[in-house]
Structure 1
Amino acid sequence: MSPIVVIGIISSLIVFLLVAGTPFKPVRIVGQVVMKVMIGALFLFFLNAFGGQFGIHVPINLATSSISGILGIPGVIGLTVIQTYILV
């Protein structure tokens, strides 16, 4: 799949979740968690796209996407440090 298609799908899902919303609290919480995981995957995608020039690669899976989505930029930096210095 092309990176443009992946970014387009993720962006449209994020916009849909932001605009549509839902009146049911449990569904809203699940939607927020899913949105954060997708944003985390997007963070990691950009890290891998731009960090590939420097030999930085963090795999994109549910665990790493959740960490980077919940913790944000510090989570991405932490995953990069772990991948670069501890797991190598």
Structure 2
Amino acid sequence: MEPTIILSILGGIIVVLLLVGAPMKPIHFLGQGLIKIMIGALLLFFLNAFGTSFDLHVPINLVTSSVSGFLGLPGLLALVVIQKYIL
């Protein structure tokens, strides 16, 4: 598809949402999820920054950020164990 068509469709959706209004519950849920994924990426960044002295590196991507963001420190420790002993 051409970029002009995609931008036109997105613009139309934005105009419709502004006129009609979006339900706040799904938007709030998506916002919380995105914040948790960003917190998970930040945790992985600090783990990689301080883990270099222990020869530890966990890649930062959507899956690992989601695991560490939604599960917190237990998820981060699980990623470390998986990286160290399984992979």
Both proteins in one fold, TM over 0.5: yes
One-letter code aligned to 2:74: P
Post-superposition Cα deviations, 1:65-85, rounded to whole Å, max 9, x if no partner, equal 000000000000000000001
Q: TM-score, normalised by structure 1?
A: 0.72
Distance 1:45 1:70 in 2: 16
Q: TM-score, normalised by structure 2?
A: 0.73
**Is 1:48 the counterpart of 2:78 in the alignment?**
no
Q: What residue in structure 2 maps to residue 80 of structure 1?
A: 80
CA-atom RMSD in angstroms: 1.0
Q: What residue in structure 2 maps to residue 69 of structure 1?
A: 69
Whichever of the two has the greater Rg, that structure is 2
List runs of 5+ in structure 1 lacking aligned partners: 1-22
Aligned residues: 65
Over 6 Å off, 4+ runs: none
